Amino acid sequence: MIKKSLFKILLLLFCWTILPLFLVEVLMIVLEPYLSQGLYQYDPDLGFKIRPYANGNNQFGFNDRDYSLQKEPGKYRILVISDSFNWAGGKEGNYTALLEKRFAQYYQNSQVEVINTGYPGTHTGEQLAMLKKYALQYHPDLVVLGFFVGNDFIDAKPNRKRIIVNDIYIDIDQRKELKLWGYPIIKQSRLLLFIQQKYKVFQEAKKAQQHSLLPSSSLYQFQEVANQSQPEKSLGILSLETFLDTEKTRLDFCKRQDVQKGVWSDNINYILQSINEMNRLLSQQNIQFIVAIYPDEFQVNPNLLNQIAQKHELNLAKYDPTCMQSILIPYLKSQQISYLDFLPRFQAEQKTRPLYLLQEPHWNTAGNQLAAEILFENLIEKTQQFFKRLSPSPKKI
């Protein structure tokens, strides 16, 4: 009798809890294309892509308008590849859009096209795959690779594949990827991941709102900047605690002892090989190539660097905050790959105005404008050389 009652209880428990949860998991796999309609979607080759025409982006999910895939005769076309830096400021305020407007003002026409081909959450190796699959369809004359020193080395685990599952980033080992009906199978509960992610977003938003009310929350932005009222914020603002923790993780890459021991050698080699392959691919198609090196805020804002050190009790003598540039630039020189180092200009300009969003690792309006100006000053000669070979030459002011 007791056994029968226990069996009934277990059966009811299975029917009312375990079985429904199992069915939910199956439905979240089978119905993912219909249930998950956010900004991201699964891509079997890239791991994920931005959903076409979501939030005003274009046919490939890039933060830009649609351009004809076949370049018009007489036009000079530039592709700018990068990560989430190509999204800060929106479609019109991003440095890529500002660069195109700058060329239009200079030539008094739209003969120079600057196409934004960046995906958030990607590093150079993944951007190489995106270039091959989508961006090269635009037939550019020049490709600019925007390399963000803050996390492009750190994220570049050779076997990482970042996929999207029910609108959530998941990093898997690409050698062990499993698929069912064309969609990835993961070892974690999709329902649990969904709940955890929503809770994390809620908690972070709550912390960010609380910190934004504190006068000291933006202290690091103001100590060198005179007559600055309110710093520029974005919807993605982090709490001060989370922001400083994130920046500390990036600074950890620069531990002198770790650099000497080769702790990050696999990541570094993967990035350098990806850049070299990108250069070789473009050279074969007679496409010019240049690497633009974007600094992290702790490299240009000494007050932020000091605040990170104070919070985490770091001895800054054990760190080389610009080690990323020290690794990348000698390699580019050895391979005769053109590059632009944004660090000196950003360090100089930061003394007069903030260039980054408050508690957010991307450029604010001033930062986007400065990035566009640096690129314009260094790329104008390439466009002039192109137009000199045409007749008549575009009128300039």
Under 8 Å between Cβ of 302 and 155: no
- Structure token pair of residue 36: 């998950």
Nearest to 251 by CA among 305, 194, 170, 198: 305
Q: Could you give the CA distance from residue 115 to residue 132 in angstroms, rounded to a whole number? A: 15
| Strands, E assignment, the chain | 40-43, 47-50, 76-81, 112-116, 142-148, 160-165, 168-173, 178-180, 183-185, 288-294, 338-341
Is the bond preceding residue 330 a cis peptide, omega within 30 degrees?
no
Indicate the domain borders of the chain: 74-157+209-388
Q: What is the mean pLDDT of the chain?
A: 86
Lowest mean pLDDT across 37-51, 173-187, 196-210: 196-210
The CATH fold assigned to 74-157+209-388 is Rossmann fold (3.40.50)
Q: What is the pLDDT of residues 350-372, one digit of tens each?
A: 999 999 999 999 999 999 999 99
Alpha carbons within 13 angstroms on the beta-carbon side of residue 315 total 4
Q: How many CB atoms lie within 10 A of CB 23?
A: 10
| pLDDT for 250 | 96
pLDDT at residue number 331: 98
Q: What is the pLDDT of residues 311-362, one digit of tens each?
A: 999 999 999 999 999 999 999 999 999 999 999 999 999 999 999 999 999 9
Percent of the chain whose pLDDT exceeds 90: 63
Query: If DSSP states are collapsed to H, E and C, what string results for 96-155?
Result: HHHHHHHHHHHHCCCCEEEEECCCCCCCHHHHHHHHHHCHHHHCCCEEEEEEECCCCCCC
Q: What is the pLDDT of residues 56-111, one digit of tens each?
A: 899 999 999 999 999 999 999 999 999 999 999 999 999 999 999 999 999 998 89
Q: Which of 101, 153, 104 is nearest to 125 (CA)?
A: 153
Scanning the structure block, which residue is given the tokens 């080759």? Answer: 45
